[in-house]
Amino acid sequence: MSWTDERIETLKTMWEAGQTASQIADALGDGVSRNAVIGKAHRLGLQARPSPVRSSEAPAEQEAPSLQAAEPEPVVAEPEPEPVVEEEEAAPPAPAPASEPRPEMVLRSVGPGGFVRQSPGEQQPPATPAPPRRLVPAKPSAEIAGKTSLLDLNDRICKWPLGHPGEPDFHFCGEKVNPGFPYCVNHCGHAYQAQLPRRDRRPPPPMPFGGPRVR
């Protein structure tokens, strides 16, 4: 299978949404390996994303073995207006009791504007430490409450798309999958239909991500 526009679009979307290469490859199906996904992603130029590996580390460190204790850090005044997200409920003084993030939450640093990319050459110096205010766990903002977004997809939930990418309310079914299938039982019924002898057959629904793989 070649990289059709459709598949490339899927790749881009999922990659930018923070899905792992494996997940994307799995979603694309057709024997696409995660290497293929990564390779294609690089060729598309969307490689900037957190990687567990820093192969080419050591960015030209001074040969001088002496450590520079305090480098005159340019005090880049951070005029951050700091929009305070006001909590509705009066937060009790007790800190949230181990409200640990879900392990499967694949959220990276997704801001309302998208991803924080870093180009190799231009990296902003680390922001001034002092976190002035308490940090509110930034929801993906656009995250439609109660709906399954791309970020929520995993192997176990139905990937049946509802709506269209780009639309504000685009989301996925989110039901538990029919084991062995990318969709829930219900949507499997839509995706996989016995051949009907009828002539007036309903037009098939759009296949998510270019259709399920055939193993």
Partner DNA sequence: CCCTGATTCGC
Partner DNA sequence: GCGAATCAGG
Rounded Cα distance between 118 and 57, Å, is: 14
Q: Is 191 one of the binding residues for DNA (CB under 7 A)?
A: no
Contact pick of 10, 17, 27, 38 for DNA (by CB under 7 A): 38
Using CB under 7 A, count the residues that bind DNA.
30
Q: Is 20 one of the binding residues for DNA (CB under 7 A)?
A: yes
Which part of the chain contacts DNA (CB under 7 A), choosing from 26-34, 60-68, 74-82, 133-141?
26-34
Question: Which C-beta is closer to DNA: that of 45 or that of 166?
Answer: 45
Q: How far is CA 22 from the centre of its chain?
A: 12
Q: Is 104 one of the binding residues for DNA (CB under 7 A)?
A: no
To DNA, the closest distance from the beta carbon of 117 in angstroms equals: 11
To DNA, the closest distance from the beta carbon of 182 in angstroms equals: 16
Which part of the chain contacts DNA (CB under 7 A), choosing from 46-54, 72-80, 175-183, 190-198?
46-54
Q: Is 66 one of the binding residues for DNA (CB under 7 A)?
A: no
To DNA, the closest distance from the beta carbon of 168 in angstroms equals: 26
Q: Is 3 one of the binding residues for DNA (CB under 7 A)?
A: yes
Contact pick of 5, 56, 62, 89 for DNA (by CB under 7 A): 56
CB 55 within 8 A of CB 85: no
Contact pick of 5, 54, 67, 79 for DNA (by CB under 7 A): 54
CB 32 within 8 A of CB 1: yes
CB 157 within 8 A of CB 174: yes
Binding site for DNA (CB under 7 A): 1-3, 20-23, 31-36, 38-43, 47-57
